[in-house]
Structure 1
């Protein structure tokens, strides 16, 4: 009783102690999460203007609803770009006093077809009636249910932002102009030509192992030109993957199951024996596959080239009734049998479209008459017949079909009736190799039948090869051990002990969601950018349908330069070429091409008609320094050693042909104007971003 009495006397003290303990626990969690830190609920800020978390995420949710299939990270990034753009432009509107009056707003509203053609707002003459529209807006505002009114106000703000941006962009574009001097320069760059001889010593003649590049050299190289190698803050990780794949025992069990379909078997189902006939003896293959396979019957005929190359020969050559398998393909154990065969089911064709003015979908730039287009097509056909291998190049230069010209005019896997009738008739009515001119509504087609494909209909019983519960437990325990060993001894030792390979180093930004070949793994990105994650930290992540990734945070790049794994692809070759150039310069001795040719063993080669518009050196590619140097030399003069993109050069100019004099440079000025005015708004936004104070906290979410 005395003890109970003391407990009662001290009950208030105990309550206070417990309350303080709970408060301390909550306080520690709050401090850790940064809730007292002012910016904890902000997704980021622009020049001090914060994006409040809840409001921002509501917009993200709306984007996800509106765009089906978009991921949460993609929606977040989309809203971020919109909000950054809006904040930057709003500052500019305020600076120049850009406002939108009611009349201007109404003008924009009337240009929206959804509103301007809405029957509710049209008068008897079918024209948009301002009064009817005003009455509708007033009814929304006076309605006790303010939902529609709120939606309209939100929409009105979007219209206002859109209109302001259009006005602002118009002001920007109107301030951009091109001078006559710039037009003249472009004309000369396009038309001044030079013939020259050269000696080249390619960088590839020096082995890469002779010119090692360190990480420090790459960082120093980028720091010399930080704008060129600018990058968002990033994190670099490396990882090992413990795959959750079936064991040999699991594969043996699956083989036993699939063997039952080869020989037929009896299964006990609901206390009754079910006799399953062999796949070979099945009479209705579609029903058999749909009943016993995990992948349902597909009635599509497939060409040999579309079958997995590992099994294409065996599957395509199956005689009626024969069964191929079991074989493992894409994680399934399979048995296949030909259910049908079809000849000429698809084809490959090369074509050159010559459109004429007035033809269907002809571009505005097409000026040929129908007769001229036909004559041009027939001329091209004659060239193709004389040299069939020229078809691809002729298509790239002449075809008006933008969908195929870049790949030599080729359409592959064309099925009957896929194309317009006359095109289809020629393709499937002629043998391989046949050429001709065919007229369609789009113009005249120079056609060549490249290939015809037979196809088979495969019936396939497929069972997914999956790990058993015992195997899954073993794989999980292996992943736990690798994680523990990596934390204690480093990822390299842990991987070696487990017989695993470390995946190549990979980098990502705070707003990315994919990690190397692991696919979408936002969980890893968020962890890497968490303030509590430190360099060399290790963490295990479950990768759905794959296994377990044990990830090590290798580096934090907050300097705004390319991460090292990207720098090795972009910067390392440049530094290597600098070092190779130093080696090769010692070989390029002599004041003449002949002397340098003798010293290096490289032949003297000619270049004809090179221009700065297309500064290409034969067999060596894009070399503006080389062509520019040749254009600047007098006839017969020899250059010093030039460090180009692909190696070291010495040139001797033979002749410079100046462009013919013209009255004006209107064409060139118009081309430059179109390019610069079109890109001006984008360049302004990029400039505003570069100068803005942007705090980006997307990596935390």
Structure 2
């Protein structure tokens, strides 16, 4: 809990600091490049970027660090989604580190020794220095503390290693900031562009239109040809660029959720357990042995327990028994052992001794008892803390600030929240031996010491065996071409997981699909995967239905999904003929509408930058045509997203002239500068050869 502890606790964050910064600064969207020949790569290589291999062991260590950060940030235990997010976070960081490092060298970007010193110990500290050494309230950095830490690091090899890592991340961040500045400074907005943007956002159009919806023609009435598909595909080829390989599979899940019989059996067990709990001689031991969820045997405040329990037990006197009550997916049993009123928060100071450095626990206790006597006789607690404590708070005279229940380890918590202001207490915890002084206690609320048992409603082995038997039987019977047919015959529901990426941590309806996804990437299209996959709530049998490689997808691969758009394009041809016929010989939009048995709808005050027609939705092509037309002139037919239209512009309202373009340019340059960072990084990736073998390992 000294300087080493300070650095040890933050080492993971120091090591992945640049990764997070690079992703925030330079990555826009999921720009992952994936290749297929996984088995041809080295067993130790998780991927490569521009010929630089990424070692799986080093990559794995960074994943663990990233995962630890996510756990702290988001709370909860590790799960497939969080793990996939950590893997992707590190992968993106590796790409950024390698590609940007090469760019820095090519451009001659560097951080001088003087510059680095100023960022660490000077008047312009790095954000990382502010984060780790700054005062949380003021943000000010204690330069003397920083200098002291680095002096001690020169004498301690382990500390020096961590400080070197910190220096490296500060240098990386600084280089990234320089690169970002270089890119953003290359962006320029002309006066013409500024005025054009101003007009687009402020010029108003008033027009009147009539339309024929695509829904007016039933799909069954349209016979699509191969030419219809190819025409649409060729006109929209850029839409079919696949940024990463994906695979789709269908599956049948055999549930292992508790049955009615399981519920009855568990309830009977819990009722017997409740009877034994009521008469147990040792409440805390009985609870610890029998509970599925371990709750510390200590005083807890209201609001910390399941609502079904929390709303009741704090109104019960000591000695009361509550339960069994079913909430969530478990039964709860509670004994109220004791109640009292306790401070809502406490301000305390401490002196921490490390027994391993003093020859054992006995010597540490003897020294801490001597320090307690000195304080009782008038010695300065702060001075003794500065001299003897091994904790980082020694530089503040042992001051730990103000904290709430549950902040400290249980032994420490119990001492400060059960005592009185001014008390001196000696406590042993996992960190060592503490002399604690309670400086101040704030507020007062009822707390309770509870013996708590929670028993989850789980499926029996009989239920699990039955589900596994069904899954195995289905796997033995199913063939590549009869998966859906056999499932339907047996009354099973077929689920679909569409366009799953190699490192995806989730799939619709499946709670732990990573092994299934990995195997899908080693299979061929049409294969039934040769395994019964065990999820948290089901056994699963799956069949690979589609493989979409990275790059431009062929027409056959997207034919089914573009069918609705192709239908609309075919309908547009039919409706345009009808609209053109109505336009022929007409002098007004009302005449056109009348011929179509429609009405002409007025639309006031539309701006080009927001092409949404009230009641009709977004129609970019129509609004673009409106702003490109002359007032009073009847338009030609326009095929939009929802139908075919004709219109007449009734007039435009121009905004006041832009007197000063400076602010408009500045706003546009900021936006363009931010977009340019993402574009620059994407360009680096597009020019690079990136092999991604992560699915082999995760």
Decide: shared fold, TM above 0.5: yes
Report the counterpart of residue 632 of structure 2 in structure 1: 636
Whether the aligned pair in 2 keeps the contact of 1:486 and 1:538 (CA below 8 Å) is no
The 1:662–1:254 alpha-carbon spacing in structure 2 relative to 1, beyond 3 Å, is closer
**1:298 pairs with 303, 308, 315, which one?**
308
Q: What is the match of residue 513 of structure 2?
A: 521
Alpha-carbon distance between aligned partners in 1 of 2:694 and 2:271, rounded to the nearest angstrom: 58
Aligned to 2:19: none
Give the aligned partner of residue 395 of structure 1: none
What is the CA–CA distance in structure 1 between the aligned matches of 2:610 and 2:128, rounded to whole Å? 48
Report 1:226-245 matches (<5 A): 226-231=237-242, 232-245=244-257
Work out whether 1:608 is the aligned partner of 2:604: yes
* Cα separation, partners in 2 of 1:222 and 1:528, compared to 1, 3 Å: farther
- Sort the Cα spacing of 1:50 and 1:92 in 2 relative to 1 into closer, same or farther, 3 A: same
Aligned counterpart, 2:377:
none
1:663 and 2:659 aligned:
yes
| Structure-to-structure mapping, 1:81-230, within 5 angstroms | 81-109=92-120, 110=122, 111-112=125-126, 115=129, 137=150, 140-141=153-154, 143=155, 146-211=157-222, 225-230=236-241
The answer as to whether partners of 1:194 and 1:611 remain within 8 angstroms in 2 is yes
What is the CA-CA distance between 1:673 and the residue it aligns to? 1.6
Select the residue among 240, 246, 260 that pairs with 1:251. Answer: 260
Distance in 2 between residues matched to 1:195 and 1:114, nearest whole Å: 54
Taking a change above 3 Å as real, the CA distance of residues 195 and 182 of structure 1, as seen in their structure-2 partners, is same
Paired residue for 1:546? Answer: 537
CA, structure 1 residues 496+127, in 2 after alignment: closer, same or farther (shift >3 Å)?
Answer: closer
Q: Secondary structure at the match of 2:506?
A: coil
Q: Report deviation, 1:206.
A: 2.7
Q: Distance in 2 between matches of 1:585 and 1:205?
A: 13
Offset of residue 471 of structure 1: 3.5
| CA–CA distance in structure 2, aligned partners of residues 689 and 487 of structure 1 | 41
Cα gap change, 1:118 to 1:192, in 2 (>3 Å): closer
Shift in Å, 1:172: 0.9
- Partners of 1:505 and 1:565 within 8 A in 2: no
Q: Structure 2: how far apart are the matches of 1:168 and 1:64?
A: 28
Is the Cα–Cα contact under 8 Å of residues 507 and 565 in structure 1 kept in the other structure? no
Q: How many Å separate the matches in 1 of 2:227 and 2:253?
A: 30
Query: d(CA) in 2 for partners of 1:171 and 1:51?
Result: 28
1:557 aligns with one of 524, 545, 548 = 548
Aligned to 1:655, the other structure's residue is in SS state: strand
CA distance in 2, matches of 1:244, 1:484: 20
Tell me, yes or no, if structure 1 residue 42 matches structure 2 residue 45.
yes
Most deviating of 632-641 and 179-188: 632-641
Are the aligned partners of 2:475 and 2:532 in contact in 1 as well (CA < 8 Å)? no
Change (3 A) 1:695 1:222: farther
1:635-682 Cα shifts (integer Å, max 9, x gaps): 221111111222111011222233333433233222212211233222
Deviations 1:173-200 (A, max 9, x none): 1111110000110122123222221111
Which whole-Å CA distance do the structure 1 matches of 2:274 and 2:141 have between them? Answer: 72
* RMSD value, Cα: 4.4
Query: Does residue 51 of structure 1 match 2:28?
Result: no
Equivalent residue number for residue 597 of structure 1: 593
Q: Distance in 2 between matches of 1:480 and 1:683?
A: 50
> 1:44 is paired with a residue of what secondary structure?
strand
- Which one of the candidate residues 576, 579, 582 is aligned to 1:585? 576
Once the two structures are overlaid, the 10-residue window that deviates more, 159-168 or 211-220, is 211-220
Distance (whole Å) between structure 2 residues aligned to residue 582 and residue 53 of structure 1: 56
Deviation at 1:95, TM superposition (A): 1.2
- Residue aligning to 2:613: 617
Given the alignment of the two structures, is residue 512 of structure 1 paired with residue 469 of structure 2, yes or no? no
- Aligned counterparts of 1:78 and 1:620: Cα–Cα separation in 2: 41
Deviations 1:312-345 (A, max 9, x none): xxxxxxxxxxxxxx9x9977899xxxxxxxxxxx
SS class of match (1:298): helix
The 3 A distance-change label for structure 1 pair 483 and 630 is: same
Please name the residue that 2:567 is paired with.
576
Following superposition, the deviation at residue 687 of structure 1 comes to 2.2
1:214 to 1:548, Cα distance in 2 relative to 1, 3 A: farther
Question: Do the aligned residues in 2 keep the contact of 1:518 with 1:543 (CA within 8 Å)?
Answer: no
2:465 to 470, 473, 486: 473
Q: Can you give the 5+ residue segments of structure 1 that lack an aligned partner in the other structure? A: 1-32, 121-125, 276-290, 303-325, 335-460
Alpha-carbon contact 1:218-1:567 (below 8 Å) kept: no
CA distance in 2, matches of 1:616, 1:117: 45
| 1:215–1:91 Cα change, 3 Å | farther
Deviates more, 1:513-522 or 1:466-475: 466-475
TM-score, normalised by the number of residues in structure 2 = 0.61
Query: Structure 1 length normalisation: TM-score?
Result: 0.60
Q: How many residues are paired up?
A: 486
SS of structure 1 residue aligned to 2:634: coil
State the match for 2:74 in structure 1. Answer: none
- Counterpart Cα distance in 1 of 2:88 and 2:257: 34
Give the deviation of 1:89 after TM superposition: 0.8
Q: Which residue of 1 aligns with 2:527?
A: 536
Deviation string, structure 1 residues 519-562 (Cα, Å, up to 9, x no partner): 331111111112x5554233334333422111001121114357
Q: How does 1:377-526 map to 2 (within 5 A)?
A: 467-487=459-479, 490-526=482-518
Structure 2: how far apart are the matches of 1:478 and 1:676? 58
SS in 1 for 2:178: helix
CA distance in 2, matches of 1:581, 1:619: 20
Cα 1:188–1:568 change in 2 (3 A) is: same
Q: Mind listing any 5+ residue stretches in structure 2 that lack a counterpart?
A: 1-36, 72-76, 135-139, 280-289, 294-304, 313-324, 333-452
- Between 1:466-475 and 1:506-515, the stretch displaced more is 466-475
Alpha-carbon separation, structure 1, partners of 2:225 and 2:552 = 16
* 1:685 aligns to 2:696 (yes or no): no
Q: In structure 2, how many angstroms separate the alpha carbons of the residues matched to 1:266 and 1:172?
A: 69
User: Contact (CA 8 Å) 2:228, 2:570: kept in 1 or not?
Assistant: no
- Greater shift, 576-585 or 231-240, is seen at 576-585
CA displacement at 1:220 relative to structure 2: 8.2
Q: Is the 8 A contact 2:38 2:696 kept in 1?
A: no
Aligned position for 2:321:
none
Q: Sort the Cα spacing of 1:581 and 1:73 in 2 relative to 1 into closer, same or farther, 3 A.
A: same
User: Deviation of residue 46 (structure 1)?
Assistant: 1.3
Distance, in Å, in 2 between the alignment partners of 1:127 and 1:598 is: 76
What do residues 202-240 of structure 1 show as CA deviations (whole Å, max 9, x unaligned)? 223233444578999879856754543433101111101
For the 8 Å contact 1:215–1:564, the answer to whether it is kept is no
Q: Is the 8 A contact 2:45 2:693 kept in 1?
A: yes
